[in-house]
Amino acid sequence: MKIDYLSCTKMLYFAERLLKDYYELPDIDKDFANQFDMTTKEVQELCKQFENGKLLVWNNISTEIEDDYGNISSEISYDALTIDKEKVIKEIKYLKERYGLRQNPFTSREALTSIVKQIELVLNEEERMRAVNSFSTSGWQLKNKDYTLVDLLFRHAYANVGVQTLPVVLSEFLNPIYYDIHSEEISRKLSDYIDKVLLVSSNKEDYKMWNKEAEKYVQLLPTSTPSVTQPKKKYTTDLTFPEKVKWEKVTIKIKEGQEDIEIFYNDKFIKTADYIELGFSANKKEHKPDMKWHLLCIFSILQSTDISKATVNNLIPMLNNRGNRKTSKDNVHQTKKNLSKTLQNLFKTNDDPFIHNGNYYEPRMKILPEPALRNEALRRQGGSLVENINYNDIDE
């Protein structure tokens, strides 16, 4: 099979997904390609190479047909492109050894796809290529459309020896030389977005590596005065519901900036309020968000990606990072307990808003993250809330 510097990790990803999720391949069409976040042409080319390498083989498959009573009435056969698992496993092992790759990538390809979409919103093509050329000689392949920026970053996500690691590469997109004086706020938003994605999609040690590299450029950006230091209105709010609250009917929608939320009940808008009004202020003097608020925001991200990662051990570094303080297991348990109590008071119910599923906490209600992270959340949860509407302007 034809393998090069960039195609090796693309093929590795495809091979591992096939091994995990498929025995025989369906029609190689757009729907199938979307499962890999690739174009139909990309997947067709990969399948052709895998077929040439005998990793995919045509077999005649027999299947029995049952009648309405469960009795076998007939048997049919059809030709299908099937996976030779033994050869695929050998190919995966070869690719990792031949190119000196990590056993597991720094983060998933899906996470990098999300990050690249944000990069493309912030930097034009010329600026992106300058960033790419600062760490790679493969820019011409991107320019020729042979590969995508996701392909390139995914190669660095697997980097182990001889290739710059993903944290080093991603931090280049935060380099101030690619932003004019009017774009510093945008570059900071990009930094925050990448940070949020990696927080939930990489392990603790890898996330520390990212923080270390990002800090080199983030500290060069001017620090804007956060609105949380400005005087706010009242410290409590009263919510009214048509019935005793059932958590399954509650949707909490965190707004951009993570200072305000919109509350819905049974798909009906109830109220917009900031964290101070809702009782999530650390103290009355500085009005900074407390640990309960940080935990609520973390749950919103995990619920949109993989809620099973909401274990105590995973929550410790996440709270450490957001709250800028050392957190222990006891602190996590206490913070969750305090969060539950605050939500119970706000929603006027004694029912616990969270389930502890053995190893992790799971919200009973829907918690949607801020808009930059919300599209995936809506797809996974089947949400239908309309974006870009100021619900405060709607007559209740």
Q: Do residues 89 and 201 both lie within one domain?
A: no
Where among 186, 218, 250 does a domain terminate?
218
Give the domain extent around 188: 109-218
How far is Cα 159 from Cα 165, in angstroms, rounded to an integer?
A: 5
Q: Do residues 163 and 283 both lie within one domain?
A: no
| Six-digit token string for 87 | 């050869």
CA dihedral 27, 32, 38, 42 (to 10 degrees): -10
Q: Do residues 183 and 243 both lie within one domain?
A: no
Contact predicate 354/362, CB 8 Å: yes
Q: Do residues 48 and 82 both lie within one domain?
A: yes
How far is Cα 150 from Cα 167, in angstroms, rounded to an integer?
A: 14
Report yes or no on 103 lying in a domain.
no
Report yes or no on 286 lying in a domain.
yes
Provide the 3-class DSSP secondary structure of residue 184. helix
DSSP letter for 289, please: B
Q: Do residues 199 and 236 both lie within one domain?
A: no
How far is Cα 216 from Cα 186, in angstroms, rounded to an integer?
A: 17
Q: Do residues 48 and 94 both lie within one domain?
A: yes
What is the domain-level CATH number for residue 81? 1.10.10
Q: Do residues 376 and 255 both lie within one domain?
A: yes
What's the pTM?
0.58
Chain position carrying tokens 């050998």:
90
Distance from the Cα of residue 251 to its chain's centroid: 20
| Six-digit token string for 60 | 């005649």
Quote the number of domains for the chain: 3
| Six-digit token string for 217 | 């450029």
How far is Cα 226 from Cα 304, in angstroms, rounded to an integer?
A: 26
Chain position carrying tokens 């007939």:
74
Q: Tens digit of pLDDT for each residue in 16-45?
A: 999 988 888 989 999 998 888 888 999 999
Report yes or no on 104 lying in a domain.
no
Where among 189, 218, 247 does a domain terminate?
218
Residues in the chain: 396
Report yes or no on 81 lying in a domain.
yes
Provide the 3-class DSSP secondary structure of residue 370. coil
Report yes or no on 360 lying in a domain.
yes
For 13, 102, 268, 269, 396, the CA distances from 240, given in Å and listed in that order, are 49, 53, 12, 11, 12
Provide the 3-class DSSP secondary structure of residue 392. helix
Q: Do residues 131 and 190 both lie within one domain?
A: yes
Report yes or no on 141 lying in a domain.
yes
Q: For the stretch 258-267, what's the b/e string if a residue is b when 16 or more beta carbons lie within 10 angstroms of its beta carbon?
A: bbbbbbbbee
Report yes or no on 1 lying in a domain.
no
Q: Do residues 238 and 337 both lie within one domain?
A: yes
Q: Do residues 163 and 56 both lie within one domain?
A: no
Where among 66, 98, 130 does a domain terminate?
98
Q: Do residues 242 and 301 both lie within one domain?
A: yes
Contacting residues for 333 by C-beta, under 8 A, at least 6 apart: 312
pLDDT in tens, the chain (396 residues): 567 778 899 899 999 999 988 888 989 999 998 888 888 999 999 999 999 999 999 999 888 777 777 777 778 888 999 999 999 999 999 999 988 899 999 999 989 999 999 898 888 888 888 889 888 888 888 888 888 999 999 999 998 877 889 999 998 888 877 665 456 677 778 888 898 889 888 888 888 899 888 888 776 655 443 443 344 444 467 888 889 999 999 999 998 888 899 999 999 999 999 888 888 887 656 678 889 999 999 999 898 888 988 998 888 888 887 766 778 888 888 999 999 999 999 999 999 998 877 789 999 999 999 887 765 444 344 333 444 444 444 443
Q: Tens digit of pLDDT for each residue in 138-179?
A: 888 888 888 899 999 999 999 887 788 999 999 888 887 766
Report yes or no on 2 lying in a domain.
no
Q: Do residues 196 and 253 both lie within one domain?
A: no
